[in-house]
């Protein structure tokens, strides 16, 4: 408890739980790799603490006291987080699908928006994919015809090459 | 915080009731409960989150990540049809229960 609280007030702007570096928070989606519940619980709790601290600040506390008071009222962060995780594990099989679909939809929306904001990037990205796929297909066609498929004769494995 | 502790299961009903009209994220639910009870019901604020995840797991709440007015990512909870009927059942049960206790406590002699 002590340790958690001190960690919390040492970094104004973040709650007591260590957040992921902001740059990676939305770029890397660990939840699709299975570790997501972890960071999402953290994100949810941090959100609460941040808003609660802001509320207390509006009531006249200075920022540091406000954050501390928010943390105190919340209770033991690690204990709460681990109780939440226990619930998630217990019921996980029901939640996973819906939430994953929701996240994927959000990712697509975000991708679409960023393409609209930056069409040049969208064009370069699609060209890269198109050329990559095209080149692969072309080379595979050649390799397939020349090396993989048999020659168009019956029992082509028995053909021999006579040189002389 | 001072005040009496919540009876077991009460937090669940209060959360469901709070979400009856619209979906909210955890902080907003907590604020409604705090302001609505005027400090009489005390609950360690963090206790809200295990309750939310439990209710979601039981299929009484749905949760979806969305954006707040300020553009921050947040998990929004809403009532499922099951949650709505559970709320109605539990409200009726609670009224019957508290009515019975009040009737006995209010008796003279």
- DSSP character string of A98-157: HHHHHHHHHHHHHHHHHHHH-HHHHHHHHHHHHHHHHHHHHHHHHHIIIIISPPSSTTGG
Q: Touching check for A98 and chain B: CB below 8 Å? A: yes
Q: How many CA atoms within 13 Å lie on the side-chain side of B83?
A: 27
Q: State yes or no: pLDDT of B56 exceeds 70.
A: yes
Q: Are B50 and A106 inside 8 Å of each other by CB?
A: no
Domains plus CATH for chain B? 4-105 (1.10.10.10)
Question: Rounded distance, CA B26 to CA A162, Å?
Answer: 80
Q: What is the CB-side half-sphere exposure of residue A52 using CA atoms within 13 A?
A: 28
Q: pLDDT for A88-138, tens place per residue?
A: 888 765 556 666 777 788 888 888 998 899 999 999 999 999 999 999 999
Residue B83 has pLDDT above 90, yes or no: yes
CB-based contacts of B78, cutoff 8 Å, min separation 6: B19, B22, B23, B61, B62, B63, B64
| Three-class SS state of B68 | coil
- Reference B40, options B90, B91, B11, B5; nearest CA is B5
Would you tell me how many other CB atoms lie within 10 Å of the CB of residue A135?
10
Mean pLDDT of A29-46: 67
Q: Categorise residue B64: left if φ over 0, alpha if ψ from -120 to 50, beta otherwise.
A: beta
pTM of the model: 0.60
* Domain ranges within chain A, ordered by starting residue: 2-117, 118-152
ipTM: 0.82
Select the more confidently predicted residue: A134 or B40: A134
Residue A103: which of B30, B62, B65 has the nearest Cβ? Answer: B65
Does B34 contact A at CB distance below 8 Å?
no
Chain B positions touching A26 (Cβ under 8 A) are 73
Neighboring chain A residues of B58 at a CB cutoff of 8 Å: 91
Q: Which two tokens stand for residue A17?
A: 């739980």
Distance from CA of A5 to the nearest CA of B (A): 14
Q: Which of A47, A91, A106 minimises the CB distance to B74? A: A47
Confidence of residue A34 (pLDDT cuts 50, 70, 90): very low
Q: How many CB pairs under 8 A join A and B?
A: 77
């Amino acid at each position: 408890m002590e340790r958690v609280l001190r960690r919390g007030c040492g970094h104004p702007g973040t709650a007591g739980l260590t957040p992921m570096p902001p740059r990676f928070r939305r770029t890397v989606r660990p939840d699709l790799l299975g570790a997501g519940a972890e960071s999402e619980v953290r994100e949810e709790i941090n959100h609460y603490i941040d808003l609660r601290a802001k509320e207390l600040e509006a009531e006249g506390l200075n920022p540091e006291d406000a954050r501390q008071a928010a943390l105190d009222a919340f209770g033991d962060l690690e204990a709460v987080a681990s109780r939440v995780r226990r619930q998630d594990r217990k019921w996980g099989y029901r939640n996973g699908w819906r939430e994953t679909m929701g996240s994927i939809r959000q990712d697509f929306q975000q991708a679409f928006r960023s393409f609209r904001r930056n069409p040049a990037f969208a064009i370069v990205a699609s060209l890269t994919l198109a050329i990559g796929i095209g080149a692969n297909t072309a080379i595979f066609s050649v390799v397939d015809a020349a090396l993989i498929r048999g020659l168009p004769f019956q029992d082509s494995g028995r053909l021999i090459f006579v040189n002389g | 915080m001072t005040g009496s502790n919540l009876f077991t299961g009460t937090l669940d009903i209060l959360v469901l009731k709070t979400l009856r009209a619209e979906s909210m994220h955890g902080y907003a639910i907590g604020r409604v409960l705090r302001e609505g009870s005027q400090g009489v019901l005390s609950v360690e604020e963090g206790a809200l989150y295990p309750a939310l995840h439990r209710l979601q797991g039981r299929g009484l709440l749905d949760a979806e990540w969305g954006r707040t007015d300020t553009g921050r990512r947040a998990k929004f909870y809403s009532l499922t049809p099951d949650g709505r009927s559970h709320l109605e059942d539990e409200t009726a049960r609670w009224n019957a229960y508290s009515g019975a206790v009040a009737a006995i406590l209010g008796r003279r002699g």
